[in-house]
Chains A and B, each alone.
Chain A
């Protein structure tokens, strides 16, 4: 979808959904629109353009600028067309001499206190004030410019991405309203009255010090250059744009990459994007500078050992070198001694190719993906209970939810655009239940009406979900009709008997969970008695020793209350990375071919064998942690890792590093020398989402197009690199464009059968399943039945983790992420987002801090049974006493040096959320950190210098 400056038209006020149509006449044109539509929008829909400044169709009408005045027959005065809804038979006139004069007068007042620097203004060519001055025919300003004005007001350049120039402000309040209505942060306000009115951030602070989360909604809404991207100020206006999909987080926002040649000037959230509907967060909107960062790897490199400098070679030499090493390993150690890891940051097509390479060229099923360490329990749990490994709804569905339950997720930080949508629904009156050891920001949503926080002890999720289910069943709050019609009778009967046992009551569970039973009962009733109850969950559910059990417990709750199969309800995993859903769909797991088709099923293998012309192993392959164990045992010797930093992201760093050092050939394909690449023998340059075509699938199963906006910096897109490697290994794959890969995916994957690039162009995006039954996709799953027929209640016995606090390790560590950084930070650490989070810190409750004499900023040694590391302290009451928290965005922090080898019983998803630790004040880095710094320095020195590359 290439758009040469034809951005979607701004219709002035939001669309109104109504089946009642109203007929009116505007300037002699007969118009019919849904009841409640504004006169402005009705006119704009028919290309009758009424001048406007304070109105924009992403915000509710405000009626302050008075520029959109119209005449309406039978009404007095000149009503604002933005705030006037249509009425049957209304006769509207938008252009008269009187209206023209009125609008000119209004504009004259605005311009009398506005700098006349249009030619040098950064908004020149993209300024609504300028456009409207032209539209109303302003030719003079009779008041002059010498009176009191705001032209010398100090500018605020504190935000790294945008500037605030109050001299350009017309106080239309669009920024304030965007911050409230779209983002839900309420960081901006209008201070003062009349002539003194001004936009201020926070308590009249600099933007950087205020509550502003830099989502960019205010910049997007500003009709002048008051709030303006620094990139535009520096580089000028873009000249073309291409719609693509963000590569941060599982929301999958659509953006217009606004370009000047091959250079991205700015990323502007695309109004037509169905996942984000024109909204963005600080990462997607602004943090794209990593794509052209000086650290990018632009040349293929090889070396024989990790103690040697890298040698820059041609692509072909790199492929041949890698293939020879893999062949040698397989000749010596057997076919199963090598494997690979697909990336949840790469496209569906690239992920499909990597697992295909492993199953064909490597000849085994040793393929896995980083979903192993995040949402693999979602796959297992939802497939067992509902029959499909995916969330059930659209994001938009939350607009109809009456009770919202958020479990182990922090959407305002980790899925910010969806977090804003959630906050909007909460402001509209939906109730909120949060199940989390931490006091997350969602609980502080302005105008939130009702919230219940079940602040449980880490590791007790299953006991709590059982207690909620116990209340629903024993208080007869279940949906009997839904259960009778949609669920397996025997499974329900067994589950009801199990869950009704007194040991699951909130009162009995309190000793395990630490949660007040009154609150548990209240929460259960809130969810079960709501017309529509929707559950959203994150890694606080999956990254436990009972992650899969907890997912099944959540599904049980939805089945029992009939909260499935329609809008406003459902079970919704919030996926961490941009293409976690897609990487799972594409057959990355060692036991499943694309579309979750098990390798043990002969009919499935027959289909793939015929298409790929190879024999496929009928046994599952190794998962990531199993690969590590096998490597240390000397049985696993070669690995191909695309776009994944297992050395930083996977738990128990000592173990991971030992495994990586045991490999004879580690092939890393990445955009940077990441932590894993420091252990590699072959380094293949990766390409960012801006440099390639493909698709991502977001958390709502929505397949979105990724479009190339600039050529790959190293010459090849990731999918082309995999083709080159496969060919060198002796298995040729022939595709000239990722669309052909998607055609093959559609041919082999029943849930993708109807997907094609042509259809994606036509529809914008598609939510799978997309096939003969649902040719345009499936927004809501399980409407009529489940893929397994009847919903399956699973028995969810609580079994405490072996990772428990003790006298020696009295605190429980839990890990997570924050808004400004993304995953291992490889991308965001190379942007100005460092302004908000330059280092990982350990959050500790004031009580625990006081007991240890710890103050903010102290260096703390954190010791677990796996290892120890040192972080700076941040005393915070977000945690409950006995629980500490950190993030893992910086490699030198060593957060995963302390996480353990415990994992989910069904999937081996690591138990990141529970690690028993002790904390004490220290004065120097840990031994691991000192070694890390030395190793890091040494490996960076091994990179060729620019001059060495140029001489080759």
Chain B
């Protein structure tokens, strides 16, 4: 009988895993003993880290899109469709429309994050972001027209994709405005929900003095409660009100509704064993990337490493061996500290990050990796 592996979600985690399995299970796929289906609701794979550069005119949206069909190995069945229901008891998925349900033996959920700006009154109307394609291009237009006033970046939702990106944005905006001779006419304020400027205390400790040097103001313990688009103010649950002329916000995030409806976890995040990545509420279900509630950053590197772990575990299970591969929390991030300098961190569950001194070399390393990302998606790097 053919064992069927279904991966839901064609972002970094799902795509890397599909190609990993095409390689790892080549004999079984060739013999027809295993079938792997990757389901995504968009024919394109989207590489979101490109969006940080769009507002500064350094990248275009097209730089972050490639057809999944070109990236995924031919041994994988690619299905462009949207899953509407997961039944983990019957091991069955339903799709929108009238197509017949599909059974699975092994399910991997890699459905990622969605944005929920409507949770904060006024945010959808007044806030700008670089966490979506339309947000990034709208913000580019706003920035180009912005010559003086208060630029406020508010981190509203956590967890959010790429925890370093809010710091990167204010460092880049500072540098970009200086280069254009506008910095003296612009005040930059960065807000964060807890008492530090970043969730990770080691990164916060490193970033804060840099922000002070660059005259980037900070407001901590700031959890946005409402935005008044007419008065151009943002108010926090803690009672602080800030005026803005340009508001850049990291909106609240959630996973897809399917997860909660299937009883796999709250807010669209799957409760998992943070080392095996197995769902706690159902058998034969894995989650990876943003979807897996492991407490590590929602970052592409995490999804990439987790895909390798899930690939090894699935191969072991399919071959009737005990699965021994585990995820150790490994995370890598480049952190831009301006338009031509960056830092770098590497950490895991046991070892905290120690940000590298910013350098031009690290900045070019980041850009070079972003270009070679397409090799990662193909499972080659």
Q: Is chain B found bound to chain A in the same assembly?
A: no
Q: Identify the B interface with A (CB < 8 A).
A: none
